[in-house]
Structure 1
Amino acid sequence: MVFNIQDSDERRVKTEFPRKVKKMEHVWIPMSDGAKLAATIWLPEDAEEHPVPALLEYLPYRKNDFTAIRDSIRHPYFAGHGYASIRVDIRGAGDSDGILLDEYLKQEQDDALDVLDWIVEQPWSTGAVGMFGKSWGGFNSLQVAARNHPALKAIITLCSTDDRYADDVHYKGGAVLASDMLWWASTMFVYNARPQDPEVVGDSWRDNWLDRLENTPPFVEEWLRHQRRDEYWKHGSVCEDYSDIQIPVFAVGGWQDGYTNAIFRMLEHLPNESKGLIGPWAHEFPEVATPEPAIGFLQEALRWWDHWLKGKDTGIMDEPKLISWIQDSEPPAVDYEVRPGKWVADDAWPSKNVNEKRLWLTDGKLAGEAKEGDTYLVPSVQQHGLYNGVFCPFGQPGDLADDQRLENGKAVVFTSEPLEETIELLGHPVLNVKVSADQENALLAVRLCDKAPTGESTMISWGMLNLTHRHSHEHPEALTPGETYNVAVQLNAIGQQIPKGHQLEVAVSPTYWPQAWPSPKPVTLTVHAGEETYVSLPVRTPQEGEENRIHFERPETAQVIEREILRKEKRTREVSHDLINGVWTLHDFSDEGERRLLSNGIEHGSVNRNTFTIKENDPLSARVQCEWELTVGRGDWQTKLESYSDMTSDETTFYLTNTLIAYESDKEVFKKTWKTEIPRDFV
């Protein structure tokens, strides 16, 4: 995960603001149980004479080093426009007290309520608070909003989800998300092991560090113990009762992000004043995101905050409920600097501008009419999916899906006739299919691609469903081999133009490595053509003059803090094939570089290596290995962490191994290995 700010000629850097800003470092916020959380606060110099509303960003990612660069361009900007902008490390992270035992615990929400209580009591506070964040901070903004603290008036949630089971890094469609479950757990495993700063907490840092090293668990163990949508995942999933959120929500994401599906659900179910914005972006704030066009998102955020926290008429509530970027068709590429397209406006979601178009799977094609009787055998090819790209792109080189001609020979593909006119899609494609399997446990993976007249195949959406979850993620049921079932596989939401003369491809397979952990045995699916087997496309009718309703300013930010680059970033992503042994391996390496922050002298760096291995015709050969090296230090105080995580399975059991090693000044001070076995539960 890279939190880096790239300098750009397109971004205006502001050094002067309407109100002069002061920065308060190492502020301690007391919790009701006696613990204290570490905060940095930017606010107008005259805020005690002229109190201001507050904005809270609440994260586990270490404000003094790991997110200091990104925080520097955003929080001073808000403060300069009349807000107290507050960055808090959650319990167990950074210099805050305690241990972080898992994601999104009730303790995390309770602490946030204590933080809100504290903010209201400050002499610089008007008592009105907004909350914002990307990813983890977007998740807990929603979760805290559902707790209904009277001071919290509105939130901005970016790249987040309302459903922790269906749309996060653990499971997708009821299948184990092999590409990310262990990777993200290994990430937090080593992130949580970083020490507090001796210059902030004093001599207690070492004892606290050893306590965290010993007692912070590998999160993957708990995640894998809950393979169905039980109470564990319902906690923190605001979709369980959208009515718990009674304040306006501004939901923001991008088509390359892994969390955009949630925006459509939230716009449908959250308070009417809520709004949505979807650009072409990866998992990042829109003022710095790739691919272009980036936008002046901080200005948009101010318009939102000024309306809800200051009572100003900024005009933002007169604008469309959903603004989204319809991407032009592009040849496949593993990264894009720019995605050409256009902004479109919808005043409601679901939108009256979007209608269903059906194409039936028949005669080996996508056709405008159904035909009964045909069946298509879909065998298991375990290496299918290696060129899919990553689940949640951060904008790094190599994140996106390659030309799907590399994959289509490993699946069964249905192709439409060339389109007679250009169409635009906005929303969720869905494959409705009558299907049978020859095993009790099976998976159905679906890709939707844009095929150019010259043959290139660009993946525009994908989805998958564990067929034992066909009725419920909470109560899975084994398949009866040979019995036919009608199932629906919802694909990721898209905003996409398909030009006249292009063709659509629907590819189906019972494997999708490494996105899905393989079913226990090789599976052959049978797709049954007919009236019930079709792809549903969300076709949007362009609206006359809608482009005149949308205007974004050029991106602007505060000045990024000074830093020295000690080691540059490097990314490689390679697929290898051992022809003799039939083994396929995806090597994903990311050296995220090393930096020294001139403001506090802290040096920090990270290196991550992930390996995904599978053997032809052998689903039980699947293996994920994740390795990390993190460094944090200053002068004579230097620490290093190494972690090694491994996941395999047999027909009945998952096997997990996690090892953590800590060094102080190159001397090993801690080493521990966690091993566990967890039964497979309909996956």
Structure 2
Amino acid sequence: MSKLLSEYLGLDVLPHYWDKRYTKNLDKLSKPIYKVQKIEDVWLTLRDGTRLCTDIYVPVGAKACPALLAWSAYGKTIQGIKRGAIPPESLLFDHSLEAGDIDYFVSRGYVYVIPDPRGIGKSEGVFYGVYNPQEQEDIYDVIEWIAAQSWCDSNVGMIGYSYFGIIQILAAAKQPPHLKCIMPCSFVDDYYQHGYYGGVGSTYMSIYWELCPSNKPMPWSIKMYGEEKVRQMMTERLKDPDIAVNSYFTKILTTWPPTYHTFFLDYLLHPLDGEYWRQRSANQIYEKVKVPVYLHCAWSPMGRWSAPIFSAMNDKRLNCPKRLGVLEGYDGLELPYRALNEECLRWYDMWLKGIDTGIMDEPLYKISIINSSVRYEHEWPLARTQWKKLYLRSFGRLRWDSEPDSNLPPDGFTHLPPSVSTEVNKLTYRTSPFPHQKEFTGPIELHLFASIDTTDANFIVNLYDVLPDGSRMPLPRYGALRASHPLNVEKSTIGSPVHNNSVSIPVKPGEINEYVIEINPTAIVIPQGHMLELEITSMCPNECHKETWIGKVGNMNVIPSNATTSYKIYRDSDHPSYILLPEIPYTPSDLWLQPIEDTLVDYL
């Protein structure tokens, strides 16, 4: 008898990111042959006596199997809700449903373990905020508990997206003996930069208030400094006029005991980089990670999401079997997260079941090129990159040639605080239509000569693909910088500027400075007739639901300055402001992915 290959493997379709040159032993790949049984509210005890409540999903009738641990502070019960995959536009969309596709893996012979962490849901103990050091130690204990259970064959991996992904390297660095591999689908290397991109504060982390169902919350700052010091820090933080004018922040900073939105209190108390953030940052512990790591992210138009996986891959301290994939965009996001099921299966079958799926034969990087296809690369930035400067010019132009004249008047805009205006002023610069398509794949940075009339300010920059009809499509293209955070030239590399975010050095008003701003890396083909547009502004509120008051703090995005600020942007021969772009002139044909054909296969 014969079946289509996809049907034989228990798949709806063959994944577009499998390559026929490297994918092997498909006949041995785990297949959906088991029913799923949920064992609810199993209690386990941590080393200090604290008990965690856990849900366990097991394949019915299977012998001891490898286990996948899905860990976050979002609560275990919701991860198993049966309602189908839901897109962001649905009123029921919940970004905390990130544990992954439970039935997919359990039916293929994996045990799925989802605990309520300490102080979350039904579990005992105090919740000290996301990724805290206590949480990292707790995961060690849970992994070793899992490995000792009768339903586990002693091989444990970690699985999940976003929170479930970010925590994985932090846990792996603790080196639990029975952890055999991880696959962070969405990853952060520098947690300060995640919350204060380029030193610019945002309200992004305010979402954890509703996402983490804590039954006993406490800010980590209390554990770090004690109550008296935290009281002083809260009082001092309210002296910042950008914070004091915001009633959402004032509520958090004037509540005692400080159990109202404890994690965002920690966030507000640490506007500069330091030990608090380093305790949650993967780039502090790479040398301690010994298990195989598959890093993945999507090309995201907001936040600092794509840069971290590339910096991690380039860090020689992460000296373990590793691969990187960027195989999707956020436009197709649905939760529960299922987008990479087949790639995850190849990874876990390789390291937890000993099936050589060929995934380690592939080149290090597998990248989806927007407006094109998927291909492999051997390094990042690409060795064949031609670095091109796209200069800011007068009349809002972007040009490949620099301005020949000096002493030209600058462009400018005025930041108006949201306490006095709803205007969000900005400058835009646009290319002419591209006569031929161009590919830009790699890191991007903006060199901007500017002055401000205050001692500090936010620079927010965005890149857009402008279609012939004038509509704009956001690239994975967001960058930010606090003017007072100095550039560290020695640590910076081309396309990846590094700033000292542990200090804030006041800017001299009116002084022209060169600001080097990281813009998220990308991989995109700009078609013929399209244009690139650069946008420079001081804040970027979320336009969704702007007419409503519910959740306004989340729509704030960047925390706006409360000072009216005049920005001047210089772009003459003495001050050549430009975007540094990674143009890829050609790609060898063997780097492009060669898909597997869904043909008929014989089976017994």
Candidates 432, 440, 445, aligned match of 1:417: 432
Q: Deviations over 1:12-57 (max 9, x none)?
A: 9xx982345443222111111111111122233455xx43222111
Give the counterpart letter for 1:466 in structure 2: R
- Note closer, same or farther for the CA distance 1:233–1:316 as it changes in structure 2 (3 Å cut): same
Q: Does 1:87 align with 2:145?
A: no
Q: Distance between the aligned counterparts of 1:185 and 1:137, measured in 2?
A: 14
How far the C-alpha of 1:156 sits from its partner, in A, is 0.9
| CA distance in structure 2 between the aligned counterparts of 1:43 and 1:67, rounded to whole angstroms | 13
Question: Alignment partner for residue 238 of structure 1, among 282, 287, 296?
Answer: 282
- Three-state SS of the structure 2 residue aligned to 1:469 is coil
**Counterparts in 2 of 1:533 and 1:307: CA distance versus 1, 3 Å:** same
| Counterpart in the other structure of 1:281 | 329
Q: 1:283 to 1:419 in 2, by over 3 A?
A: closer
C-alpha distance in 2 between matches for 1:490 and 1:285: 25
The answer to which structure has the higher helix fraction is: 2
Q: Structure 2 CA distance, aligned partners of 1:148 and 1:427?
A: 32
| Structure 1 SS opposite 2:33 | coil
TM-score normalised over the length of structure 2: 0.72
Aligned residue number for residue 268 of structure 1: 314
Paired with 2:334 and 2:438, the residues of 1 have a C-alpha distance of 26
Question: What is the CA deviation profile of residues 246-266 of structure 1, one whole-angstrom value per residue up to 9, with x for unaligned ones?
Answer: 222112221237423222222
Aligned-partner Cα distance in 2 for 1:502–1:284:
23
Residues 375-384 or 231-240, more deviating: 375-384
1:527 aligns with: 569
Structure 1 CA distance for aligned equivalents of residues 598 and 502 of structure 2: 45
C-alpha distance in 2 between matches for 1:237 and 1:306? 29
Give the corresponding residue for 1:192. Answer: 214
* Structure 2 unaligned blocks of 5 or more: 1-10, 15-29, 83-96, 218-256, 488-499, 542-555, 600-604
Which of 57, 64, 77 is 2:77 aligned to? 64
SS at match of 2:136: helix
Contact 2:438/2:525, CA 8 A, preserved across alignment: yes
Q: Aligned residue pairs: how many?
A: 480
Q: Deviations over 1:75-111 (max 9, x none)?
A: 2332332322211111111221123121111111111
For residue 478 of structure 2, the aligned residue among 453, 456, 462 is 462
Matches within 5 A, 1:209-224: 217-224=261-268
Q: Distance between the aligned counterparts of 2:472 and 2:345, measured in 1?
A: 41
Residue 447 of structure 2: aligned partner: 432
Separation in 2, partners of 1:245, 1:286: 30
- Pick from 186, 198, 215 the counterpart of residue 173 of structure 1: 198
Residues 142-165 of structure 1 deviation map (CA, whole Å, 9 limit, x = unaligned): 110111222112101112311111
| Map of 1:363 onto structure 2 | 394
Quote the residue 1:650 is aligned against.
none
Which residue in 2 is equivalent to 1:500? 528
Per the alignment, residue 249 of structure 1 pairs with: 293
Distance 1:117 1:214 in 2: 34
User: Which residue among 301, 308, 319 is the counterpart of 2:362?
Assistant: 319
Inter-partner Cα distance in structure 2 for 1:379 and 1:466: 17
Q: Distance in 2 between matches of 1:553 and 1:32?
A: 50
Which of 18, 36, 39 pairs up with 2:51? 36
Q: Does 1:543 align with 2:588?
A: yes
Q: Distance in 2 between matches of 1:446 and 1:552?
A: 42
Q: Which runs of 5+ in 1 are unaligned?
A: 1-8, 196-212, 329-340, 385-405, 555-683
In structure 2, the CA distance between the partners of 1:285 and 1:42, relative to structure 1 (3 Å rule), is: farther
Matched residue type, 1:112: I
Inter-partner Cα distance in structure 1 for 2:13 and 2:75: 25
Amino acid at match of 1:24: I
Q: What CA distance in whole angstroms lies between the structure 2 residues aligned with 1:248 and 1:350?
A: 22
Which is richer in strand?
A: 1
Task: Work out the CA distance in 1 between the residues paired with 2:299 and 2:354.
Answer: 32
From 149, 152, 161, the equivalent of 1:122 is: 149
Task: List aligned pairs for 1:374-413, cutoff 5 A.
Answer: 374-382=408-416, 410-413=425-428
Q: Aligned equivalents of 1:111 and 1:418: distance in 2?
A: 55
SS of match in other structure, 1:109 = helix
Measure, in 2, the Cα distance between the counterparts of 1:219 and 1:288. 25
| Alpha-carbon shift at residue 525 of structure 1 (Å) | 2.1
| 1:224 CA displacement | 0.2
Counterpart mapping for 1:561-600 below 5 A = none
C-alpha change, 1:265 and 1:552, in structure 2 (3 Å) is farther
Higher relative contact order (CA 8 A, sep 6+): 2
Q: Do the aligned partners of 1:28 and 1:37 also contact (CA within 8 Å) in 2? A: yes
Task: Identify the match of residue 66 of structure 2 among 46, 50, 53.
Answer: 53
- The offset of 1:193, in angstroms, is 5.0
Q: Tell me the residue number matched to 1:138.
A: 165
Instruction: Tell me the residue number matched to 1:484.
Output: 512
Contact 1:133 1:157 in 2 (8 A): yes
CA RMSD of aligned residues (A): 3.2
| DSSP-derived class of the 1:100 partner | coil
CA distance in 2 between counterparts of 1:288 and 1:552 reads 28
Equivalent position amino acid for 1:501 in 2: G
Structure-1-length-normalised TM-score:
0.64
CA contact (8 A) 1:413 1:508 kept: yes
- The 5 A counterparts of 1:287-306 are 295=339, 297-306=340-349
Larger mean Cα displacement after TM superposition, 90-99 or 275-284: 275-284
State the alpha-carbon separation in 2 of the partners of residues 185 and 106 from structure 1.
17
8 A Cα contact 1:346 1:353, kept in partner: no
- Kindly tell me: are residues 287 and 26 of structure 1, through their superposed partners in 2, closer, same or farther at Cα, counting changes over 3 Å? closer
What per-residue deviation string (whole Å, max 9, x for no partner) do you get for residues 455-493 of structure 1? 223332221111011331111100011222222111122
Matched position secondary structure for 2:101? helix
Among 501, 506, 513, the residue aligned to 1:473 = 501
Q: Distance in 2 between matches of 1:313 and 1:286?
A: 30
